[in-house]
Structure 1
Amino acid sequence: MAFFEVDGQALHYIDQGTGPAVLLAGSYLWDQAMWAPQIAALSPHYRVIALDLWGHGESGRLPEGTASLDDIARQALALLDHLDIDRVTLVGLSVGGMWGVRLALSAPQRLNGLVLMDTYVGVEPEPTRQYYFSLFKQIEESGGISEPLLDIVVPIFFRPGIDRASALYQDFRAKLAGYSAERLRDSIVPMGRITFGRDDLLPRLGELNAATTLVVCGDQDKPRPPSEAREMAELIGCPCVLVPEAGHISNLENPAFVTDTLLKFLAGLK
């Protein structure tokens, strides 16, 4: 395990393989282990870095003063500086794409390519934002994610037809149930508020390099539906690929399709 201290906290990351650098940025409530199938396939050909969000996996708590996705992007850029990586292809899923776009816009010279997966950089629709914030309030007040709340939260991440007895589903549920009150209140809930209280970057998507950008979305993603992916791809002017039989965590619900898509995209950047 490797750690990098930034803004007074230890950011956990893995760094595996050699070759052109690829940074994997994952979803809220998931850690870098979510990328296991892609790391296994990419690391024989690429240098793959995957990090844990604050309060997730092995990373420390959300640093004092971290108040926006721009801060997360700045911290990730500091990690790349620490690793002496001049240019990287960033693959961002969900919140990873939300801060990934901010990194791309603030430091375009650092990117070889950008893949935006199951993400949206417009503002959160107001009814959804209020709903998520109400869930955060419940979690904060109780200091845990109750069984009834798990029944609401966990299915959001998967396609409707997933086998709820599967290891993928049950392991994720168990991880959420195991979060301490301290971790929830210090990092998970504040990180959620940062994510779903984000500002609107849709007007700036035209600044991205369409030739080196790809939008990917699970065809059954509920929180970030294909309509949002198509909207972003149109604003960027880049292709949009739908992942069959996949919900929000499309890279784990259909890992072979996503990995193949990433390998083809990366090969095209050389």
Structure 2
Amino acid sequence: MPFATVDGQPLHYIDQGNGPAVLLAGSYLWDQAMWAPQIAALSQHYRVIALDLWGHGESGPLPEGTKSLDDIARQALALLDHLNIERVTLVGLSVGGMWGVRLALSAPQRINGLVLMDTYVGVEPEPTRQYYFSLFKQIEDTGVIAPQLLDIVVPIFFRPGIDPQSALYQEFRAKLAALPPERLHRSIVPMGRITFGRDDLLPRLGELNAENTLVMCGDQDKPRPPSETKEMAELIGCPYELVPEAGHISNLENPQFVTEALLKFLAERT
């Protein structure tokens, strides 16, 4: 398994295919395996990099001194440097989009294209932020994501009509239930606080290259509703697309639609 040491910790990634580079940056509480359908298709034509967020998948714990999404963006840039990748198309879903925008703003010369999926770079609405922080406190106090919390957390990621007995739903629930206390305490909870305590980047969206940016969102995304996608697209001046029959993890709920949209976007820019 390939790892890069960044800020003293092993950052796990996969590197598949040849051609122009594409970096896939996923959601909080998911690892790089969430991109499996897109990796299989995109790696036929592109060099696809997908990383595990700190404390997720095979990556090591959140490095000391990591306090903000700007730090996460800087660490991802260090991975690109490690791989000698000069320019990349970045596809960021959820928190991947939140730090992906920061990377694009801090190093625009490294970005061929930017796809922001099911994400929002404004501040978290205060009632939602307080609610999520209360969940983090419960996890911190108990050292587990207890069954009653799983009943709250897991449905957030999917469209309302999903079958809770489906493999996608059950596998995600089982992964969260199995997270060990040290990982929750050292990485998952702090990463959640960084994510939902983020600062407001909406005023800077106009600095992005509108011609090289696309915003996408599941049409039934609950935590990051389509209204936020439309707001960001207007501020950037770029197009947006709604993914039919999909919630927050839109690339897995409607993989064919998302994969085709990404292939079209990439073909126009590489």
Query: TM above 0.5, one fold?
Result: yes
Partner Cα distance (1:215, 1:268) in 2: 16
In the TM superposition, 1:82-93 aligns within 5 A as: 82-93=82-93
Deviations 1:9-30 (A, max 9, x none): 0000000000000000000000
Deviations 1:96-138 (A, max 9, x none): 0000000000000000000000000000000000000000000
CA drift of 1:269 comes to: 0.5
- The aligned residue for residue 235 of structure 2 is 235
- The aligned residue for residue 78 of structure 2 is 78
- The aligned residue for residue 188 of structure 2 is 188
Q: Secondary structure at the match of 1:269?
A: coil
Q: Secondary structure at the match of 2:267?
A: helix
Matching of residue 44 in structure 1 with residue 40 in structure 2: no
Partner Cα distance (1:165, 1:56) in 2: 24
Structure 2 counterpart of 1:156, one-letter code: I
Matched pairs, number? 270
Q: Secondary structure at the match of 2:15?
A: strand
- The aligned residue for residue 54 of structure 2 is 54
Partner Cα distance (2:189, 2:77) in 1: 24
CA drift of 1:258 comes to: 0.2
Structure 1 counterpart of 2:222, one-letter code: K
Matching of residue 221 in structure 1 with residue 218 in structure 2: no
- The aligned residue for residue 250 of structure 1 is 250
Unpaired stretches in structure 2, ≥5 consecutive residues: none
- The aligned residue for residue 7 of structure 1 is 7
Q: Secondary structure at the match of 2:121?
A: coil
CA drift of 1:256 comes to: 0.1
Deviations 1:66-116 (A, max 9, x none): 000000000000000010000000000000000000000000000000000
Matching of residue 202 in structure 1 with residue 211 in structure 2: no
Matching of residue 172 in structure 1 with residue 172 in structure 2: yes
Matching of residue 261 in structure 1 with residue 257 in structure 2: no
Deviations 1:165-194 (A, max 9, x none): 000000000000000010000000000000
Structure 1 counterpart of 2:35, one-letter code: W
- The aligned residue for residue 104 of structure 2 is 104
RMSD: 0.3
Q: Secondary structure at the match of 1:63?
A: coil
- The aligned residue for residue 118 of structure 1 is 118
- The aligned residue for residue 157 of structure 2 is 157
Partner Cα distance (1:79, 1:156) in 2: 30
Q: Secondary structure at the match of 2:214?
A: strand
Partner Cα distance (1:44, 1:144) in 2: 40
Partner Cα distance (2:56, 2:212) in 1: 29
CA drift of 1:153 comes to: 0.2
Structure 2 counterpart of 1:57, one-letter code: G
Partner Cα distance (1:263, 1:163) in 2: 29
Greater than 3 Å deviation, 4+ residue runs: none
Partner Cα distance (1:155, 1:6) in 2: 33
Deviations 1:25-57 (A, max 9, x none): 000000000000000000010000000000000
Deviations 1:129-174 (A, max 9, x none): 0000000000000000111000000000000000110000000000
Structure 2 counterpart of 1:187, one-letter code: S
Unpaired stretches in structure 1, ≥5 consecutive residues: none
Per the normalisation by structure 1, the TM-score is: 1.00
